[in-house]
Structure 1
Amino acid sequence: MPKPLIGISTYHEESAQWGVWHLPAVLLPLDYPTHIQRAGGLAVLLPPDAPEAAAETVARVDAVVIAGGPDVRPARYGAEPHARTGPPNEARDAWESALIEAALASDTPLLAICRGMQLLNVVLGGTLIQHVPDVVGHGGHTGPAGSLAAHVVAPIPGTLFASLGAEPYEVPTYHHQAVDRLGRGLVPSARAEDGLIEAVELPGETFALGVQWHPEAGTDQRLAHALIAAARRPRLVPAPSA
């Protein structure tokens, strides 16, 4: 059986450096494609493009991963920026919103990671907590700059995520924003010990799941294996023609 092709969105940087070069670039931490490859998929990068190209792009892959990254522009969910909200990347916001919409419309399996989960919530009309320590009273969801923290998440019984393993477990994490009001149709499927929503899903979809942590940075492969299994199944709704 051919390996499923998994499209992963990328960072979009105005200035990146490698070797003697210092140029605008699209890039992605190696952990993302490696995580998919180890689970039995073929990884392909989906750099920002015109939003109208999203449906055709999604039609060419078997599943979509929305990667982590910068804060979503608060205007997208009707809020003013918090003092600790970082500068957005408009190209990523527009492109990844369109990828999410196209994946949901075509029943293409979707895994949204960290910023990706936040954007999934926003695309469906939800809002975000712009600085988590203001709400939970601690900074345990984010490690020192450039380093991941770790905390326990507890699956919520009866959800798709809980079906992958019902016991609480420790996850690698780095986020200062989180889901506030849930978007249309989304249900929480895991929480942190402080009550923060750590995973969301769309019941009834083939596979539409967002997680607030970074599974690609850990050793637990359950999410990647579940995504690959979903990518192997026929879609319930025909994808748009190319």
Structure 2
Amino acid sequence: MNPHRWRVLWFACFLFLGGVRVEAKETAGDQRVGIALGWQSTWIIRIVYGRAVDLSGEVEWVSELTVPLFAEGFLRNGSLLTGLSIPIPRKGEQGLGFRARGMTGFLWSGDDLGFRLSWGGEGRIATGWYEKSWSIAAEMGYRAALVTLMWHSEVQQRCFTDRFPGDDGWGPAYSLRYLTSQRASIGVAAELTASENLSLSIRGGFENTPSRVPGMGTPPIFPLPFYVEAGGTVSW
């Protein structure tokens, strides 16, 4: 891919994370960093940073980077999202409750057909039983790539020959598409507080990812595509 496009992408990511830092720097509360490994049509690694954004330390601003673990073109595919996470009941309290999270950000993917950069969002809610040292909940999530800018490769441009005849017989180098991919998921999530500063988590379930653009969806592995993820979080 053209190196200029990489510079544009990483500059956007830099501004994105910079905005999170400015938003949260004057607030009091805990911070945390987590890392998780999982399977989501391919092996993935997820890095999460969270920081409380209210004086009670309950509402949290979260940034989440997800990339394939072994796939060719390590950073040519992935997502960078940020948003708010709200717990009810409050952290440390016991009982039936939920954790709601709303995020927005960038998704990108590249292959022989070209490179795609999307802006989209994700919502997730986990309803279950929360104790001081553990929790278990049923979770539901939805993610959509709302707007996608596509840089077509030479291979794909040649496919437009009949529709866009020209001097060179090639089609457009760029295109803009809307609602190019979606992902709906349902599963179970559990968390265990191992110590004052360390917690462990595991989550898994099934998902459906219809896609209008190759490379943006998740192909099924079995009749019902699944996801599973395990990780740890350090807080201070």
Q: TM class, shorter-chain normalised?
A: under 0.3
Q: Which has the higher contact order (CA 8 A, sep 6+)?
A: 1
Instruction: Judging by fraction of residues, say which structure has more helix.
Output: 1
With the length of structure 1 as denominator, give the TM-score of the two structures: 0.25
Instruction: Judging by fraction of residues, say which structure has more strand.
Output: 2
- Larger CA Rg, structure 1 vs 2: 2
